Structure formats: structure tokens, C-alpha cells
Chains A and B, each alone.
Chain A
Amino acid sequence: DTAVSQTPKYLVTQMGNDKSIKCEQNLGHDTMYWYKQDSKKFLKIMFSYNNKELIINETVPNRFSPKSPDKAHLNLHINSLELGDSAVYFCASSQRRGGGVNTEAFFGQGTRLTVV
């Protein structure tokens, strides 16, 4: 039973298109994230979302927008795709504890986005 699942696993699309990646977690966590892993395998936070509070990494272009229909889902919408958006995108979730500490994050299997 997968804890954090993303779809699709692979996504190939043309420049200028709009696409979405879906993420669902069944861990009951209250915080979800999107990370981007570039070609050098470096993981970097894009967004975090907790109880309707969205924190955006200031370096993320506004073509990227997360949408959370409920606590267990955080989808990623990307408008006007560019070649440089090609990367692996990971969804993750964790649970907020007292003192502002979050538990370890659990990751999905990733979505490899290729923009041609």
C-alpha cells in the first residue's frame, strides 16, 4: 500500500503546453511538499502546504502552482512549459509536531518531466 503516490511517473510534452502532476498521501500527514531534482540530482524545495497555508520558494516561477483539494492531495500545475523545466519532481509529506518541528518526510517515486 503506497504511502505517497504520484502520477504520472513519466511525462513528455512540448514547450508551451500546460500539464499537471497529481500527488496523494495516505499517511494522514498534515503537510505536503513538492521538490524538484535537477539533472545533477540536487533536490530543492518548491512548495510546502499545511492546513491551507502555502509557502512558496521565491525562486519558483509563477508558472508553477500547487493545488490542494483536500489534506491528502497536493497537485502541481505547470503552465507554458519550458525546456528548463525538465527534471524529476517529487511529492512528499510529513507531520507537524510541537515546537514547529516536522517529522521525517516520506517521498513519492517521482515524476520525470521531459519538455521537448
Chain B
Amino acid sequence: EDQVTQSPEALRLQEGESSSLNCSYTVSGLRGLFWYRQDPGKGPEFLFTLYSAGEEKEKERLKATLTKKESFLHITAPKPEDSATYLCAVQAYGGSQGNLIFGKGTKLSVKP
């Protein structure tokens, strides 16, 4: 069964303290891995798509990387406005019409 596991469940950082979020996946075949950000009371907001091992994508203080078993979301010198829940999702071969299988998310809190 296709599965996505994110760790840690929650992460508290001081402003400027860099860290990484982990997303490990077990799928029959990976079509794509997606990172989303979700703020309270809002829908998930797309951040990155990664398709193959070794691929990296960057956006401001965020950098996503992908291996054959996991993905990392690196946050460099975070700011309080980076506080949110970060969701990882995979699109798998054999899955239907681009359905996303989500992890349970990592809730990030950045204190000033």
C-alpha cells in the first residue's frame, strides 16, 4: 500500500535557526512528490514538485530535495511568517488521475 510518513509531527524553531523536515514514502512507482504549505483555516498552497531522485527546487528560504526513499524540506534562517503546517504528498503509478496521497504534515512554529 502506498504510504507517506512525515517527521517530526511538530517543530519549534527560533527565528534564524535552520532545520529540515522529512517525508519518507513507500509507493509502487513515484510519478511526483509535492510539498504544500497550509495555514490555519486555509487550503494547502503549492510549493514544489519533484519528479526524480537527485532533483532539488528552491524558493526563498525553502529548498526541497528528493531521494529514492524520502524528501527533505530544508528551511534556512526561518522567519515567524514561515510558521505553518507543511504537507508532503505523492502521486503514484497505479494511482488514479493524479490523486495525491498525503502525509500527516509537520506543524512548524518559528518564534521571534
- Listed in ascending order, the chain A residues whose CB lies under 8 Å from chain B are 4, 31, 33, 35, 40-45, 48-50, 53, 55, 90, 92, 94, 96, 100-110
Contact = CB atoms under 8 A, between A and B. Distances in A.
A110 B97 contact: no
**Chain A binding site: helix, strand, loop or mixed by DSSP?**
strand
Contacts of A109: 41-43
A96 B93 CA distance: 14
Interface in B23-72: 31-32, 34, 36, 38, 41-46, 49
B32 to A, nearest CB: 6
B97 A101 contact: no
B91 interface: yes
A96 B97 contact: yes
A1 to B, nearest CB: 16
Nearest to A94: B98
Given A41-B104, A55-B99, A104-B34, 20 more contacts: A31-B98, A42-B104, A43-B87, A45-B101, A48-B99, A49-B97, A53-B97, A90-B43, A100-B93, A101-B98, A102-B91, A102-B97, A102-B98, A104-B49, A105-B34, A105-B46, A105-B98, A106-B46, A107-B44, A107-B45
Contacts of A103: 49, 98
B43 A41 contact: no
B78 interface: no
13 contacts: A42-B102, A43-B102, A48-B96, A53-B97, A92-B43, A94-B98, A96-B98, A100-B31, A105-B100, A107-B43, A107-B45, A109-B41, A109-B43
Interface string B83-108: 00101010101001111111011000
A107 B45 CA distance: 7
A50 B36 CA distance: 23
Contacts of A101: 31-32, 91, 98
Given A33-B99, A45-B99, A90 B44 contact: yes
